[in-house]
């Protein structure tokens, strides 16, 4: 019996493609929201979840930064998926017929220039593949979906324009979530993801970060966001290259903890080679 792999979206979504890449023998389980995706893993409905965390054009996926630290789940892997956006219309529609485009807000954001050039009205939807399905069902020649070519084939839509994303490097990074803490072994290319909050002392963030520089640890990501709706409560989300057992990382973490009142490792996992 194959394991179920939860992802946000419907069949044909980019998250579906990422889940299939990471678990080719798994049984995809589409979920409506990121919350439902995480809940499926938390409750055992799915063995793993595959969720997007950032896009090279659109930036971070805000929901994941808020949901993941409190989920009790662990990051056990990552993959990068080249995102090729396609404009999909119902049979018989032409590019000149289109007045509005429907897709996930992130996808619409990745195609801003194309949308602006054609002066399309935008319709926010839950996901890309769901937009393709809904456009197919409406059978309105004036409305197109922005989704993958695979989604178009799945729902009987025609390709009106290809590669409409703003930049050719459009890539989304996905994380694998597990209820079990399965740390990658020390050695090889490893990433560690963690969150922290600095203490309310002068230059606390500067001092907390100093240990990574002095110990030669490469920090590939550092982002801040508010927690609990308070302007004074800021949490930081970070990725580094290295294993917590590496001496340099150990020393850097020791310095970090001295200037923080909250610190939590979310995952220690193999760095992806398909960036």
- Number of neighbours of residue 1 by Cβ within 10 angstroms: 4
114 vs 9, more confident: 114
Tens of pLDDT, residues 147-178: 998 899 889 999 999 999 988 788 899 999 99
Specify the CATH number for 4-82+170-178; select among 3.40.190.10, 3.90.1300.10, 3.30.160.100, 2.60.40.2470: 3.40.190.10
Fold matches, 4-82+170-178 and 86-162: yes
Hey, is 247 helix, strand or coil?
A: helix
The pLDDT > 70 percentage for the chain reads: 97
Q: What is the fold of 190-270? A: Alpha-Beta Plaits (3.30.70)
How confident is the model over 256-268, as a mean pLDDT?
94
Architecture of domain 86-162: 3-Layer(aba) Sandwich (3.40)
How confident is the model over 116-134, as a mean pLDDT?
93
Q: Catalytic annotation on 114?
A: no
Q: Where are the domains of the chain?
A: 4-82+170-178, 86-162, 190-270
pLDDT at 1: 59
Q: Catalytic annotation on 174?
A: yes
List the catalytic residue out of 37, 128, 172, 192: 172
- Both tokens of residue 105? 């807000």
pLDDT at 230: 60
Which of 46-50, 139-143, 206-210 is least confident? 206-210
List the catalytic residue out of 174, 196, 236, 259: 174
From 91, 94, 112, 92, select the one nearest 103 (Cα to Cα).
Answer: 112
- Both tokens of residue 24? 């080719």
Give all strands (DSSP E) within the chain, no chain letters.
4-8, 27-31, 48-55, 59-60, 74-82, 86-89, 100-104, 121-125, 143-147, 158-162, 171-178, 190-198, 219-226, 234-241, 260-270
- pLDDT value at 233 more than 80: no
Tens of pLDDT, residues 19-71: 999 999 999 999 988 999 999 999 999 999 999 999 887 788 877 888 899 99
- Terminal-to-terminal C-alpha distance of the chain: 31
Round to whole Å and give the CA distance between 120 and 142.
10
Round to whole Å and give the CA distance between 273 and 219.
18
User: For the chain, what is the mean pLDDT?
Assistant: 91
């Amino acid at each position: 019996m194959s394991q179920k792999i939860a992802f946000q979206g419907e069949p044909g979504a980019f998250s579906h493609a990422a889940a299939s890449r990471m678990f080719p023998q798994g049984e995809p389980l589409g979920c409506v929201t990121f919350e439902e995706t995480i809940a499926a893993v938390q409750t055992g409905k799915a063995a793993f979840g595959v969720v997007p965390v950032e896009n090279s054009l659109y930036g971070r996926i805000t929901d994941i930064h808020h949901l993941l630290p409190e989920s009790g789940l662990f990051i056990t892997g990552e993959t990068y998926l080249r995102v090729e956006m396609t404009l999909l219309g119902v049979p018989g529609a032409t590019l000149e017929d289109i007045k509005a485009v429907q897709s996930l807000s992130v996808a619409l954001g990745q195609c801003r220039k194309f949308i602006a050039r054609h002066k399309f009205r935008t319709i926010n939807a839950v996901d890309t593949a769901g937009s393709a399905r809904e456009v197919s069902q409406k059978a309105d020649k004036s409305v197109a979906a922005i989704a993958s070519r695979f989604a178009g084939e799945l729902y009987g839509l025609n390709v009106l324009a290809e590669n409409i994303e703003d930049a050719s490097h459009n890539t989304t990074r996905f994380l694998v979530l597990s209820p079990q803490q399965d740390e990658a072994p020390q050695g090889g290319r490893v990433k560690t993801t963690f969150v922290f909050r600095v203490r309310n002392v002068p230059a606390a963030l500067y001092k907390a970060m100093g240990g990574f520089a002095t110990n030669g640890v490469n920090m590939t990501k550092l982002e801040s966001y508010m927690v609990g709706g308070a302007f004074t409560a800021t949490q930081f989300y970070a990725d580094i290259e290295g294993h917590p057992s590496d001496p340099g990382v150990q020393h850097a973490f020791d310095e970090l903890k001295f200037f923080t009142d909250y610190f939590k490792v979310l995952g220690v996992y193999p760095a992806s080679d398909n960036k």
